[in-house]
Amino acid sequence: MMRDVAIIGVSQTKFGELWDSSFRDLVAEAGIKAIVDSNIAGEDIEAMYVGNMSSGLFVQQEHIAALISDHTGLNPIPCTRVEAACASGGLALRQGIMAVASGFHDIVISAGVEKMTDVVDATPAIATASDQEWEAQQGAIFPSLYAMIAKRHMYEYGTTREQLAQFSVVNHKNAKYNPNAQFSFETTVDKVINSTMVADPLTLLDCSPVSDGAAAVVLCPAEDAKKYTDTPIYVKASAQASGTMTLHDRKDITTIEATKVASRKAYDMAGVTVKDIDASEVHDCFSINGLLAVEDLGFVEKGKGGIALEEGQTERDGDFPINPSGGLKARGHPLGATGIAQAAEIVWQLRGDCGKRQIDGAEIGMTHNVGGTGGTCAVHIFGRDRN
């Protein structure tokens, strides 16, 4: 980076089935909260990025960055939508970082939003994140694609149904203490396994929900950050990679190559190893993808993710705490908002603002945001210290 970047404010709306909030309302709420949190005035913002997967199919509205700019009084600043399916938020964050790093802008807001409950069935829209011609049109929608991955992981590595379910159990345990989470109930391995079958072996409680919501972060040059806040959080790495859109093009469907590539780039850029990461938010659209993240980010060797979950290593007091927010499963997964909400959670964790879901002494945190079954992956690393 030509210039270091810091986060001076973050926000997240409540995630859930928000029947009383429109697309516009959600992003305005997130934006205003982030502005308040960063001690800036709205007119200080020089550019906005917004991550959103499919406002076209969900609310029949494209050109949403301009709409948001107009609706929130940001005109005439540059406002840009970024799309990469469920990784849209992570990429909007990355573009905001580049806008500051490049010297084009000083204060930039990166937001994410998705309004998914205005359609009768969200599945056809979500399926456009896979390859229509090779997957979606053949009926291979995401639960079935991830179910195939899970089956293969069980076959190759002896991963058990109980270990998979454990990912959801830990998420729900954390979400209980997150006031913005969609679900505040705890669950058990038995309850997960015995919930409604979706695509064998994945049941309802292995799957992230359909959600409405928005989130935002405010970025500025690292050297200016202390003007706005006593606790800036520094961007130590922003990395992104692409992988095959379809599962049949992969040598091994139990590994998401884009996660491996993006995370290794991020560790290099930040000058850290995976052992230095105190808190992570990973992309558990399905429990199996959370488990793959544990392996592909390098927390454990390939095949050992199930055992790590069983041993509680991803819990808040474990060796590598994951998804203190509740993750996609329990915080909710408004597609374009997720990557930004992950960053907001890590900022809160590094500031020490998380109350009962706080990971004690977290200094370095990571977000991992995946599009589709790994066509896109964005990994960001943040730190309390600038260097």
Determine the size of the site formed for a second copy (CB under 8 A).
64
Residue 243 binding a second copy, by CB under 8 A:
yes
Instruction: Give CA–CA dist 338/370, Å, rounded.
Output: 10
249 binds a second copy (CB under 8 A): yes
Tell me which stretch binds a second copy (CB under 8 A): 65-73, 139-147, 171-179, 305-313: 65-73
Q: How many residues does the chain have?
A: 387
Beta carbon of residue 144, minimum distance to a second copy (angstroms, whole number): 17
Neighbour count for residue 17 (Cβ, 10 Å): 13
Identified binder of a second copy from the candidate list 39, 144, 188, 242, rule CB under 8 A: 242
Residue 146 CB neighbour total at 10 angstroms:
24
Applying CB under 8 A, does 237 fall inside the site for a second copy?
no
Phi and psi at residue 24, to the nearest 5°? -65, -45
Residue of 28, 45, 65, 149 that binds a second copy (CB under 8 A): 65
- Binding test (CB under 8 A) with a second copy, winner from 34, 258, 308, 322: 258
Phi, psi (degrees; rounded to nearest 5) at 217: -135, 145
Q: Considering only the stretches 94-102, 140-148, 161-169, 194-202, report the one whose residues sit in contact with a second copy under the rule CB under 8 A.
A: 94-102
CA distance 56 to 53: 9
- Three-class secondary structure of residue 306 per DSSP: helix
363 dihedral zone (left: phi>0; alpha: psi -120 to 50; beta): alpha
Binders of a second copy in range 286-305 (CB under 8 A): none
Q: Indicate the residue among 1 and 32 with the shorter CB distance to a second copy.
A: 1
| Strand order across the 279-281 sheet | 47-51, 108-115, 212-221, 5-12, 233-242, 376-383, 364-371, 279-281
333 is catalytic: yes
- 110 forms part of the interface with a second copy (CB under 8 A): no
The answer to whether 24 and 85 are in contact (CB under 8 A) is: no
> What is the C-alpha separation between 211 and 14, in angstroms, rounded?
10
Among 101, 148, 282, 354, binds a second copy (CB under 8 A): 101
Q: How far is the CB of 57 from a second copy (least distance, A)?
A: 5
The span from the first CA to the last CA of the chain, in angstroms, equals: 14
Q: Is 21 in the site for a second copy (CB under 8 A)?
A: no
Q: Which of 79, 86, 207, 285 is catalytic?
A: 86
Contact between 343 and 378 under an 8 Å Cβ cutoff? The reply is no
Binder of a second copy out of 6, 129, 217, 322 (CB under 8 A): 129
Single out the catalytic residue among 105, 153, 333, 380.
333
Contact 325, 331 (CB under 8 A): yes
**CA angle at 46 for the pair 369 and 111, rounded to the nearest 5°:** 25
Q: How far is the CB of 122 from a second copy (least distance, A)?
A: 13
DSSP conformation class of 9: E
> What residues from 325 to 354 belong to the interface with a second copy (CB under 8 A)?
none
Residues of this chain that bind a second copy (CB under 8 A): 1-3, 53-54, 56-57, 59-67, 69-70, 74-85, 91, 94-95, 98-99, 101-104, 124-125, 128-132, 136, 238-246, 249, 257-258, 261, 371-372, 375-376
